[in-house]
């Protein structure tokens, strides 16, 4: 991610502003405000604003007048209880707004999380930058043979270089054609041609071009996003954004973040039938997949969680 002098000046001006307030603030997150965290080759994520902290979750759960005088350990215990028993509304009392720069194909995956307020950069109004995502060599992988949504072995040698060259050449060529169709420098057409409307010229750009948006969400729904996108099985290109955001959440609401990582991100769920099988196993009984009532896929996932998959 390359920032221009104008970008740096705008960031410093934003970070220099300070307003007195009676609302809760979090020094660790205040230090991060407006500061872009680089993600992928040209992307970033940064916090623009937030409301609430761990005490807001506790306050909502107790419906109290203020922060109260209870110990941190008591607040942590209550937050863990809320997370453990999926009492979600207290976490909805906290909100955060991010500014994100991301490849278009990642944005199309991200937007499936519909419980946020989003305002995206408009290519009908503005001209897109010549910035596109090219995967790092260790992320250039073949299609998985057993997972229709995943990646398999990493491409190497001439094949990898050919794919990288195709991605870069296609993106460069399409942007050159995009500029030609626009036929404008800043806002004035050149060469006597009128040029194509921006809302039409943009359709020629590839999905690895970068877009930007403001994304505002409450803490409960953010935890749902992170539980899916910060998971090791998530696509790498969205997971790195989720990982950066999780670091910000840890600074913002450390007690809630710890409970989330314990009960959601680092936990697994068993079906009622899986619990039946697990109890039989703990009682010393041998249970096969055919006897378990679980499908082959469920059984494989269940055994993987228990660390009992056969070699190979």
The 3-state secondary structure of the chain, one letter per residue: CCCCHHHHHHHHHHHHCCCCCCCCCCHHHHCCCCCCEEECCCEEEEEEEEECCHHHHHHHHHCCCCCCCCCHHHHHHHHHHHHHCCCCHHHHHCEEEEEEEEEHHHHHHHCCCCCCEEEECCCCCCCCCCCECCCCHHHCEEECCCCCCCEEEECCHHHHHHHHHHHHHHHHHHHHHHHHHHCEECCEECCCCCCCCHHHHHHHCCCCEEEEEEEEEEHHHHHHHHHHHCCCCCCHHHHHHHHHHHHHHHHHCHHHHHHHHHHHHCCCCCCHHHHHHHHHHHCCCCCCHHHHCCCHHHHHHHHHHHCCCCCC
| 213 close to 121: Cβ distance less than 8 angstroms | yes
**The tokens of 263 are what?**
């009960």
Catalytic residue among 229, 250, 279, 297: 229
**The tokens of 82 are what?**
């809320």
Ramachandran category for residue 256: left, alpha or beta (phi over 0 → left; psi -120 to 50 → alpha): alpha
Pairwise CA distance, residues 231 & 236, whole Å: 10
**The tokens of 9 are what?**
């000046």
Q: Is 229 a catalytic residue?
A: yes
Pairwise CA distance, residues 195 & 200, whole Å: 10
Pairwise CA distance, residues 257 & 249, whole Å: 6
**The tokens of 207 are what?**
């999905």
Q: Where in the sequence numbering do the catalytic residues fall?
A: 229
């Amino acid at each position: 991610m390359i920032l221009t002098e104008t970008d740096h000046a705008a960031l410093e001006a934003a970070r220099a502003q300070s307003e007195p307030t009676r609302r809760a603030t979090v020094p660790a997150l205040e230090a991060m405000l407006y500061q872009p965290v680089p993600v992928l080759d040209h992307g970033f994520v940064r916090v623009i604003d937030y409301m609430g902290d761990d005490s807001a979750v506790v306050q909502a759960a107790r419906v109290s007048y203020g922060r109260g005088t209870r110990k941190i350990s008591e607040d942590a215990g209550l937050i863990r209880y809320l997370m453990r028993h999926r009492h979600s509304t207290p976490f909805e009392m906290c909100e955060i707004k991010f500014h994100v720069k991301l490849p278009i194909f990642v944005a199309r995956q991200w937007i499936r999380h519909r419980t946020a307020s989003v305002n995206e950069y408009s290519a009908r109004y503005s001209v897109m930058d010549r910035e596109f995502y090219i995967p790092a060599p260790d992320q250039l992988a073949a299609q998985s043979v057993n997972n229709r949504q995943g990646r398999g072995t990493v491409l190497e040698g001439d094949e990898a270089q050919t794919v990288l060259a195709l991605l870069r050449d296609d993106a460069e060529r399409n942007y050159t054609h995009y500029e030609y169709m626009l036929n404008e420098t800043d806002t004035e057409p050149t060469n006597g041609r009128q040029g194509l409307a921006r809302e039409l010229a943009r359709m020629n750009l590839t999905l690895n071009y970068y877009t930007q948006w403001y994304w505002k969400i409450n803490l409960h729904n953010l935890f749902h996003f992170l539980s899916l996108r910060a998971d090791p099985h998530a696509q790498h290109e969205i997971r790195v954004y989720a990982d950066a955001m999780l670091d910000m959440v840890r600074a913002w609401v450390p007690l809630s973040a710890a409970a989330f990582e314990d009960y959601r991100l680092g936990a697994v769920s068993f079906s009622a039938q899986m619990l039946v099988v697990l109890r039989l196993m703990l009682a010393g009984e041998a249970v096969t997949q055919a006897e378990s009532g679980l499908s082959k896929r469920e059984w494989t996932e269940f055994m993987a969680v228990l660390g009992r998959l056969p070699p190979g």
